[in-house]
Amino acid sequence: MNLAEQLLTTLPLVVIDDLKRLGITLSPDSELSVLSHGLSNQNYLIHDSDKKWVLRSNSLASNGLCDRQSEVTNWRLAAKESLAPALCYVSSDHAYFLSEYIEEEASWQWGELLSEQSTQPHIQGPSVWPNAEEKLLVLLLGLSKLTVPDNIISVSSQWQRYLGQLRDIHAGCLTEKSQDLRDQWFAHFHQLLGLETEISQWIEELNACDLGSQYSHRDLNPRNLLYKDNQLFCIDFEYACGSHPLFDLAAVLSSHGLSTKQKEALIHAYLLGHPKLTSNAKSALSAAINIYWVFAACWSLLMAAGGSPALDENSSVTDMNLNPHKDQEYLNYFQSFLSSIG
């Protein structure tokens, strides 16, 4: 059974019919492939006639971590300003999205810049991608000028939300998981709890330089960026909201393998005259980077637990909506993310 046949077998009929009304007719002979982008959801490339589309199947676990309606709204805000691919279709239950496919040049894959960085820069020598900081600055400034989303989530509120979800999972004892996975999960959770005092201090530092919320993608790592025609585009708006003006910059610095010179240039240009940050905001960047990794660690534990809301009778969810990675892989991510905290 090829991928097209598998998709036709598992994709809800209502979604197949909706796609057909959009002019996309799936058949056993359709040209399909799996895309590697995305740690939370499954993505499929559909090559239909002379057009290409991305069909995203949202995972149940990530549904419990974000508001899909807000994701759609914030995605469209960015797409309207050509900062994201167009979102062409959303299933009635938000389980499936269809978007424009932005094809990067084979020799210019932005994902090559992926590098987990702590608060201390590691790359002192020549840049991996000359002028990458200039492309990132254009994107960051473009996002910062978008309308502030209705879903405003402060750094403090997000931490309390994640902590509450994790405590609930801990209280439930993860009885559906293996003993080995439970032991690892509980050990990791206690590691995170051991940072509560420091986390509170980092949040205080961020609050002290915050003059107002702005549009924030909240996960601008290279996996979520595409480069085409000398421009960067964002994908995956699950966590986009109105939030701290330093957070997107911190996400970029945390996840991109930029040289020290590139980082310094990007920081200076972004902070210069920023209307929603105090003049000493640069001193809070280390705190912002640490909070980025704290949130990433929380995400990995929540994904490993695999919690999801109950489905209603009208849901079109299938096994396509399961996590794209095994529980153990998410626990491994936790170790990596936690070690990046400086």
Q: pLDDT tens per residue, the chain (342 residues)?
A: 899 899 899 999 999 999 999 999 999 989 999 987 667 789 999 998 789 999 999 988 788 889 999 999 999 999 999 999 999 999 999 999 999 999 998 778 898 899 877 665 444 555 678 899 999 999 999 999 999 999 999 999 999 999 999 999 999 989 989 999 999 999 999 999 999 999 999 999 999 999 999 999 999 999 999 999 999 999 999 999 999 999 999 999 999 999 999 999 999 999 999 999 999 999 999 999 999 999 999 999 999 998 443 334 444 545 454 444 588 999 999 999 999 998
The Cα–Cα gap between 234 and 167 comes to 32
Residue with the two structure tokens 């905001």 = 281
Which helix (H) or strand (E) is 214 found in, with range?
Answer: strand 214-216
CA of residue 17 relative to chain centroid, distance: 29
Tokens of 90: 């959303």
The Cα–Cα gap between 93 and 117 comes to 37
Contact 75, 239 (CB under 8 A): no
Q: What pLDDT does residue 125 have?
A: 52
> C-alpha distances in angstroms, 295 versus 155, 161, 199, 320, 324?
9, 11, 10, 26, 20
> C-alpha distances in angstroms, 139 versus 78, 132, 271, 337?
10, 11, 14, 24
Residues paired with residue 277 on neighbouring β-strands, in sequence order: 210
Torsion of CA 52, 53, 54, 57, to 10 degrees: -140
Which domains are assigned to the chain? 3-104+114-339 (3.90.1200.10)
Residue with the two structure tokens 């995400």 = 299
List, in sequence order, the alpha helices (H) in 11-103: 13-21, 60-63, 68-80
Q: What pLDDT does residue 118 have?
A: 62
Contact 78, 237 (CB under 8 A): yes
Q: Counting runs of H as helices and runs of E as strands, what totals does the chain give?
A: 12, 9
256 DSSP assignment:
B
Q: Largest Cα–Cα distance of the chain, in whole Å?
A: 60
Amino acid at 161: R
Backbone angles phi, psi at 183, to 5 degrees: -60, -45
Backbone angles phi, psi at 149, to 5 degrees: -60, 155
279, with CB counted inside 10 A (0-12, 13-18, 19+), is exposed
Amino acid at 311: L
